[in-house]
Every structure is written in structure tokens, then in C-alpha cells.
Structure 1
Amino acid sequence: MTQFPRHSVSVAAVVTDDGGRVLVIQRRDNGAWEIPGGILELDETPQAGVRREVLEETRVEIEPERLTGIYKTVTAGIVALVFRARLVAGTPAATDEAAAVDWWTADQVTAGMSEVFAVRTLDALRADPTPAVRSHDGRRFVDRHGQYT
């Protein structure tokens, strides 16, 4: 029997406030600022998984509204699904997984996140409802011809 490569699926949410700012977390494990999210459990739908991950990392309840992007880390076999979501209940607060939570503008996202996570966030803020589909090696994106940009 042929062994097929395994992939991991993660989910994340771009939650915005009334001013268009994005809910971000500072990860406890590496200090990086990112949108909340994590690994999808085998028995979860993507929507249930993103609700759980955001609640675990920020203490807020959200409702996913639409899929805004699909991102593959080609070096690690991770496929990330990113959703635009709205806040339903709660006040953002630090957790065991997030050292800090904050609301950032698009400019702060560009300046304060790694390119890979900033692009995911900015893709979700676009008015175009078509989900972005991108691949990267963890730092650089791959264009449609397989070249790193």
C-alpha cells in the first residue's frame, strides 16, 4: 500500500469591531501576534472548530460569516481555513494560550505580524467575497507558477 502524505487542517478567524479593527492575540509560546485559531479536531466542522479556538484564545464567542481564504504551508503540510467572523458575546481577555489580546487596524496588522499572517488577515478584510487560495513555505508565498515571491 502506498503511503500518502498527511495534512493538518487549522482554522482561524478575522473578527472585526464596529471600527473595522481586527481582534489579534499575542501567542504565549512564541510571542508572535496573530489572528486567533488552531488545529481542527477530527470530529469538528470548520465552523465549530473556529468558534472553539477563538473562545479558547480570547474568551469571546463568534459567528463565522464566510470563508475568506485557504492557505497551505507546503513545508509542513498544514492547510489553514480563514473565516471572517463577527463577535457574538464576551469581552476579549488574555488566556492560557494568549498572553495578550488587542484590536488592531490594518496598518498595525501589516507592521506587527509576519507576512504570512498579515496576508491572511488583509485577505479577509477585502470586499471581494471570493476566498483567496495561497501557498507558502512559512515565510514566503508561492505564486501560481510555483515560484517564491
Structure 2
Amino acid sequence: MTDLPKHSVSVAGIVVDDQDRVLVIRRRDNGHWEPPGGVLELNETFEEGVRREVLEETGITVHVDRLTGVYKNMTRAIVALVFRCTPAAGQPSATPEATQVRWMSLDEIKTAMTPAYYVRVADAFESSAQTKSHDGVNLR
């Protein structure tokens, strides 16, 4: 059997509060605003990965509600599974992975994030899961 190229799988949480604001981070490594998330570890379920990533990057514990989208970065071969979440406990605070953590409205997010990340947030407000591909910045 031929060795085929491999994909990386990541998870992200779109944490929405009771005012429809979304919890976002400014990444320490690149300074970009994004939803909290990262690489899914081999020994965890999708939901466990989302809870771990959100807690590590924001200090917030969440309930994972539902899958809202699947996104493929065609340039880097990353498949991202994105879930809508509800905050359960904790206060947002900077972490080793995020210089800032804050609640933003959809309008604020639209101007703060690249299209490839903004669409993940916007899709979390849709009634069914979405599938899209991008080049790391722009949708295809």
C-alpha cells in the first residue's frame, strides 16, 4: 500500500454567552484573534478535546453543545471540527497560549478575524452544520 499524505485534526469551541457574545483569544504565537482551539490528541474524544483546548486557552470550563462546522485548510492539510459551546465556570484570563481573552460581538469579530476564522464563528449561529474549505485566510 502506498503511503498517502496525512491530515491533522483540530477542534475549536465557539463559546457563546447569554448576550450572544463569543469568547475569543489573541494568540500568543501570531497575534491573531481566533476562537480557542488546537490539535486533537490521540487519546481524546472530540468533545474532550474542545473542553481541554478552551480551558487551556481561556480559563473557562464549557459544555459542548453541538457540531457547527467542518473546515479544511487546503494549504496545511488541517481538518478542523468546530463546536458551539456554553460557558459553565471560570473567568476569562490570559494564558500561556493567549495574550488576551475577551467576549466579542459578531460585528467585532468580523473586523478582528480573517475570513477563514470569522466564518467558523458565524456558522455557529446557523441551524445546521456547515462544511467549507480555505487557504488559511480566505474561503475557497
TM-score, with normalisation over the residues of structure 2?
Answer: 0.97
Moved over 4 A (4+): none
2:137 alignment counterpart? 139
Structure 1 position 18, deviation (Å): 1.2
Q: Does 1:100 align with 2:129?
A: no
Identity of paired residues, percent?
54
* Aligned partner of residue 93 in structure 2, secondary structure: coil
Cα deviation, 1:59-99, whole Å, max 9, x if unaligned, reads 11001100000000111110000000001111111100000
> Match of 1:19, as an amino acid?
Q
> Match of 2:30, as an amino acid?
N
Cα deviation, 1:42-70, whole Å, max 9, x if unaligned, reads 11100000000000001110011000000
Q: Contact (CA 8 Å) 2:62, 2:85: kept in 1 or not?
A: yes
In structure 1, C-alpha distance between the alignment counterparts of 2:73 and 2:96, rounded to whole Å: 26
Cα deviation, 1:81-130, whole Å, max 9, x if unaligned, reads 0000001111111100000001000000101101100000000022x1x2
Q: Contact (CA 8 Å) 2:27, 2:97: kept in 1 or not?
A: yes
Moved more, 35-44 or 132-141: 132-141
TM-score, with normalisation over the residues of structure 1?
Answer: 0.92
In structure 1, C-alpha distance between the alignment counterparts of 2:135 and 2:3, rounded to whole Å: 23
> Match of 1:118, as an amino acid?
Y
Q: CA RMSD in A?
A: 0.7
Number of residue equivalences = 140
* Aligned partner of residue 96 in structure 1, secondary structure: coil
In structure 1, C-alpha distance between the alignment counterparts of 2:137 and 2:23, rounded to whole Å: 22
2:27 alignment counterpart? 27
Q: Contact (CA 8 Å) 2:114, 2:138: kept in 1 or not?
A: no
2:72 alignment counterpart? 72
In structure 2, C-alpha distance between the alignment counterparts of 1:100 and 1:139, rounded to whole Å: 21
Structure 1 position 139, deviation (Å): 2.0
Structure 2 runs not aligned, ≥5 long: none
> Match of 2:133, as an amino acid?
S
